[in-house]
């Protein structure tokens, strides 16, 4: 079961560092666009009436798109050893779509520009992970898989903190915006999307030059055969399919948190744009610390136990999140919760990397994205519908807590394959 780890030892510490730097770029886009800056800007300025619902439905369609494309594109990438090429294409789309959000002015007439480019940015940002995750076995060994995965997640969160801090202290806070930007037209806010796109471009480049990937696994027959082959590889391994089903649910819970955390803070507790950014920096710091600690815990006690402990903790904290009576309690719950978000993400990736055969890594990571996205359109859609139905943001966040609970029960107590 270890052949997937040692198939390519051409990559050394420098390549591992380059691998982690990609997460620095990718995480910044997710934090600045999909969660904390543009999402809040859209729901409070471009579409203040039902913006949360519209954002939720757009996120749902994006998630469904990723779920449908992930396994097929992953299979093609495996078959022709083109993981880096597919990663480069999705990265380029993500950069362009994010930068073009500069054009979304603070008026309802720019609704579709905001929605369309946000859709492409989110889809590209998520599809990147199919090919990025598939490269993990090329830069890590069996012994340090958890640490490398956790380190990459942690570095990504810390990179997002730096990008958010630049957005806050250079663009948002100064009374006079830099580069002649006009605050009256929200140019100082929209310019952060240009920053996010350039950030992704810069930090993605080292991976493309320094990380080598494995050889092709097979000849491509057709997309349906690729999907079938990937699923057959998964069901060969005891408990692996159960893990993928559990991931459908707990990843959906995470999707709800990522899509609506900033909006929730602004709508429920009245956070200003500046307060949302302070909140974002603090939560990303918490997530980064959690990912680093979780990486050590993963290698010491196993990825499966790391996931279980993190999910139970997130469920308990999520309940506190829902009943928080004021902003202070909300802050505490969010910071504690961040300590467990990083570990569940990093440990899920390292678990798949440890179990998946070398020649099917991208294909199986395509299913990994499928398991994370095939139902993830449901969470934001339910959240959006509950908001429209009840007019209460807290009611929408119940969705995340329930998905964590379902994921815990399906995951069970036995790790897939021969993992501990």
- Taking the C-alpha atoms of residue 323 and residue 356, their distance in angstroms, rounded to an integer, is 40
Residue 78 has pLDDT above 80, yes or no: no
Per-residue pLDDT, averaged over 113-119, amounts to 97
Q: How far is Cα 383 from Cα 399, in angstroms, rounded to an integer?
A: 6
pLDDT of residue 6: 45
Out of 29-43, 61-75, 213-227, 247-261, pick the least confident. 213-227
pLDDT confidence of residue 82: 75
Q: Is residue 420 part of a domain?
A: no
Distances (CA, A) of 8 to 14, 202, 324, 358, 389: 15, 26, 49, 9, 53
* Residue bearing tokens 């051409």: 10
Kindly report the number of other CB atoms within 10 A of residue 127's CB atom. Answer: 26
Is 145 within 8 Å of 136 (Cβ atoms)?
yes
Please state the rounded mean pLDDT for residues 320-329: 88
381-409 residue pLDDT tens: 888 888 888 878 788 888 889 999 999 99
Domain containing residue 392: 13-411
Q: What is the pLDDT of residue 80?
A: 58
pLDDT of residue 22: 96
CATH number, domain containing residue 282: 1.20.1250.20
Q: Is residue 7 part of a domain?
A: no
Three-state SS string over 300-352 comes to: HHCHHHHHHHHHHHHHHHHHHHHHCCCHHHHHHHHHHHHHHHHHHHHHHHHHH
pLDDT at 365 over 50: yes
Residue 326 lies in a domain: yes
pLDDT class of 7 with cuts at 50, 70, 90: very low
Quick: pLDDT tens for 190-219. 999 999 999 999 999 999 999 987 655 554
Which pLDDT belongs to residue 208?
A: 95
Closest CA to 345 of 406, 258, 269: 258
Average pLDDT over residues 33-61: 88
> pLDDT tens across 99-108, in order?
999 999 999 9
Q: Is residue 111 part of a domain?
A: yes
Q: Which of 245-254, 351-360, 365-374, 381-390 tops mean pLDDT? A: 245-254
Asked if residue 416 is part of any domain, the answer here is: no
According to the per-residue pLDDT averaged within each range, which of 81-85, 180-184, 232-236, 350-354 is highest? 180-184
d(CA 18, CA 206): 5
Q: Which of 255, 194, 288 is nearest to 407 (CA)?
A: 255
* 166: in domain: yes
On whether residue 419 sits in a domain, the answer given is: no
Q: Which of these, 55, 66, 24, lies nearest to 198 by C-alpha position?
A: 24
Looking at residue 181, its pLDDT comes to 94
Is 3 contained in some domain? no
Q: What SS3 class is residue 386?
A: helix
Output the pLDDT for position 3: 39
What is the per-residue pLDDT for 366? 65
- The count of domains in the chain is 1
- The packing angle between helices 223-235 and 240-269, to 10°, is 100
Provide the pLDDT for residue 195: 97
Other residues' Cβ atoms within 10 Å of the Cβ of residue 325: 7
Residue 41 to residues 46, 63, 139, 272, 367: CA-CA distances in angstroms?
Answer: 7, 21, 38, 10, 33
């Amino acid at each position: 079961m270890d052949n997937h780890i040692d198939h390519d030892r051409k990559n050394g510490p420098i390549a591992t560092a380059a691998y982690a730097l990609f997460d620095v770029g990718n995480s910044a886009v997710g934090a600045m666009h999909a969660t904390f800056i543009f999402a809040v800007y859209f729901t409070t300025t471009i579409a203040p009436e039902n913006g949360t619902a519209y954002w939720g439905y757009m996120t749902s369609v994006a998630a469904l798109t990723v779920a449908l494309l992930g396994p097929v594109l992953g299979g093609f990438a495996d078959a022709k050893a083109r993981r880096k090429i597919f990663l480069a294409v999705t990265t380029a789309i993500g950069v362009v779509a994010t930068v073009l959000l500069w054009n979304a002015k603070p008026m309802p007439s720019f609704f579709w520009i905001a929605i369309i480019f946000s859709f492409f940015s989110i889809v590209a940002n998520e599809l990147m992970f199919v090919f990025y995750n598939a490269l993990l076995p090329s830069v890590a060994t069996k012994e340090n898989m958890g640490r490398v995965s956790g380190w990459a997640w942690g570095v990504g969160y810390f990179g997002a903190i730096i990008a958010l801090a630049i957005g806050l202290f250079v663009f948002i806070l100064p009374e006079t915006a830099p580069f002649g930007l006009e605050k009256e037209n929200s140019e100082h806010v929209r310019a952060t999307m240009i920053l996010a796109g350039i950030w992704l471009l810069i930090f993605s480049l080292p991976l493309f030059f320094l990380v080598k990937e494995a050889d092709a696994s097979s000849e491509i027959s057709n997309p349906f055969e690729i999907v079938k082959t990937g699923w057959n590889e998964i069901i060969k391994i005891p408990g692996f399919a159960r893990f993928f089903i559990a991931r459908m649910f707990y990843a959906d819970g995470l999707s709800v948190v990522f899509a609506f955390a900033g909006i929730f803070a602004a709508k429920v507790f009245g956070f200003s744009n500046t307060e949302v950014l302070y909140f974002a920096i603090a939560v990303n710091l918490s997530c980064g610390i959690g990912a680093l600690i979780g990486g050590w815990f993963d290698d010491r006690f196993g990825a499966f136990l790391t996931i279980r402990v993190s999910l139970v903790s997130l469920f308990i904290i999520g309940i506190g999140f829902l009943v928080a009576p004021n902003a202070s309690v909300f802050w505490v719950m969010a910071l504690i919760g961040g300590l467990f978000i990083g570990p569940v993400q990093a440990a899920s990736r390292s678990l798949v990397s440890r179990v998946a055969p070398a020649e099917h890594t991208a294909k199986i990571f395509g299913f990994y994205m499928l398991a994370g996205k095939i139902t993830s359109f449901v969470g934001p859609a339910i959240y959006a519908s509950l908001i429209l139905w009840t007019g209460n943001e807290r009611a929408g966040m119940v969705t995340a807590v329930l998905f964590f609970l379902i994921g815990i029960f399906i995951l069970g107590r036995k790790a897939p394959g021969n993992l501990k």
